[in-house]
Structure 1
Amino acid sequence: MVMKIGKVAAELGIEAHVLRHWEDAGALTVRRDGNGYRVYDDSALEQARTVLKLRRVGLSLPEVTAAMSPTKSAAQAVVKAKIGALESEVVHRQQAIAFLQHTVECRHRYLDDCPDCATFAREP
């Protein structure tokens, strides 16, 4: 099946300019017809779906391009680095939740009066 950019964009739930941007950035390869219009075959559509999924899980466009590298080791390195960054973010978010939950339950009127809040505040 072959589709034009508008139909692909609608199917993916994104704007056509996003697909053009991905192509300009090198994350997506789309062939052109005789009139110069982008033509998305099944392979290009799957590639676009992959780019979209990688973007939605937090990879930047340069990371997406690297993650789609034909060299598996290069792709894995990018993905492993992103996993590490996401795991670190999870830890920081959990610490933020713990701090905020404590402030809700804290018996002190002001956070400055609470030794536990002061400990949280000194943590990086």
Structure 2
Amino acid sequence: MKARCVMQTIGEAAAELGVAAHVLRHWEEVGALTVRRDGNGYRIYDETALEQARTVLKLRRVGLSLPEVVAAMAPKKRDAQAVVRAKIASLQREVVRRQQAIVFLQHTVECRHRYLDDCPDCAQFVRDA
């Protein structure tokens, strides 16, 4: 098993995280990521920076926009929680919309009418949308 490197270049960090180097630069630019620089100005990804990048990546993968990620990583827990609570509410609304879409689509598959316009149930689904 290969020993884990404590310090990584941007290319090494990007490869480990599965993102492009420009993505890490952008995250740093917008304030989602803090990365130390060496004496020559090169970015040095230590374990703290990598963990922060993993957090940004996870938050992005669960649906937060980059501004939401920055806000969710705010130093004040109350501020961060407000952003996360708002995202939870948004995702819950999306789940309801998706469930309604599934019900509608299941009905259209099973509908006995040749054309959906002929079906009173389909018409009701459309009116309720």
| Same fold? TM cut 0.5 | yes
Please state which band the TM-score falls in when normalised by the shorter chain.
over 0.9
Q: Which amino acid aligns with 1:39?
A: I
Any unmatched runs of 5+ in structure 1? none
What per-residue deviation string (whole Å, max 9, x for no partner) do you get for residues 6-44 of structure 1?
Answer: 000000011000000000010000011111100011110
The residue correspondences of 1:41-120 to structure 2 (distance < 5 A) are: 41-120=46-125
Whether 2:40 is the aligned partner of 1:25: answer no
Query: How far apart are the structure 1 equivalents of 2:14 and 2:49?
Result: 12
Q: How far, CA to CA, are the matches of 2:11 and 2:87 in structure 1?
A: 31
Q: Which runs of 5+ in 2 are unaligned?
A: 1-5
Q: Secondary structure at the match of 1:81?
A: helix
State the 4+ residue runs in structure 1 displaced beyond 3 angstroms. Answer: none
Give the whole-Å Cα distance in 2 for the aligned partners of 1:87 and 1:31: 38
The TM-score normalised by the length of structure 1 is: 0.99
Residue 42 of structure 2 corresponds to residue 37 of structure 1: yes
Residue number among 5, 8, 15 corresponding to 2:10 in the alignment: 5
TM-score between the two structures when normalised by the length of structure 2: 0.95
The total of aligned residue pairs comes to: 124
| TM superposition shift of 1:91 | 0.4
CA displacement, residues 49-98 of structure 1 (integer Å, 9 cap, x when unaligned): 00000000000000000000010000000000000000000000010010
How large is the Cα RMSD of the aligned pairs?
0.5
Distance in 2 between residues matched to 1:69 and 1:75, nearest whole Å: 5
